[in-house]
């Protein structure tokens, strides 16, 4: 039986795996390893493997000093979608966000990621904003958990 293992990336190899998933799912905003190292200092990152094979990653941006809302993002590589891995990553991220004191939960999806948008909508999120970052051509969608 296959087992999904999810853990915090503690070394450069795991951070590189997290980076790979991010850059595949969000090609318009690829990150360097240094970018990921910096994100790991302020966000809760996790990486998921199925029997040693990279499956996905997640990010929890904790509530800030001026907000009680956390952002939870689950990303799954296209070859592994539709098998419940996103739900597992999302559930863990939601639990972590609440553990960190979040009263509200948001997520953000690149509009070209139709699978990710469908997942968010199916899991109770409602679109609250759609915008382009400077230089972008594909909109981002902010969603809030209802």
The pLDDT value given to residue 130: 96
DSSP string, the chain: ---EEEE---SHHHHHHHHHHHHHH-GGG---HHHHHHHHHHSEEEEEEETTEEEEEEEEE---TT--EEEEEEEE-GGGTTSSHHHHHHHHHHHHHHHTT-SEEEEEEETT-HHHHHHHHHTTEEEEEEE--TT-SS-EEEEEE-
pLDDT single digits (tens) 57-71: 999 999 988 899 999
Contact 58, 75 (CB under 8 A): yes
**Average pLDDT of the residues in 8-26:** 97
Contact 39, 59 (CB under 8 A): yes
The pLDDT value given to residue 61: 97
| Cα–Cα dist 93/87, whole Å | 10
Confidence of residue 9 (pLDDT cuts 50, 70, 90): very high
The pLDDT value given to residue 65: 85
The pLDDT value given to residue 28: 83
Spell out the domain ranges in the chain: 4-145
Fold of the CATH domain 4-145: Aminopeptidase (3.40.630)
The pLDDT value given to residue 135: 86
pLDDT single digits (tens) 85-143: 999 999 999 999 999 999 999 999 999 999 999 999 999 999 999 999 888 899 999 99
**Average pLDDT of the residues in 65-90:** 95
């Amino acid at each position: 039986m296959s087992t999904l293992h999810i853990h915090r990336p503690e070394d450069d190899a795991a951070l590189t795996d997290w980076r790979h998933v991010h850059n595949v799912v969000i090609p318009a905003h690829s990150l360097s390893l240094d970018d990921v190292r910096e994100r790991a200092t302020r966000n809760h990152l996790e990486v998921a493997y199925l029997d040693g094979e990279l499956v996905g990653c997640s990010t929890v941006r904790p509530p800030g000093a001026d907000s009680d809302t956390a952002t939870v993002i689950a990303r799954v590589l296209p070859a592994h979608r539709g098998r419940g891995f996103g739900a597992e990553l999302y559930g863990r991220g939601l639990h972590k966000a609440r553990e960190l004191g979040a009263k509200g939960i948001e997520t953000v999806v690149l509009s070209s990621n139709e699978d990710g948008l469908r997942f968010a909508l199916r899991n109770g999120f409602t679109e609250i904003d759609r915008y382009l970052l400077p230089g972008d051509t594909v909109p981002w969608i902010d969603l809030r958990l209802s």
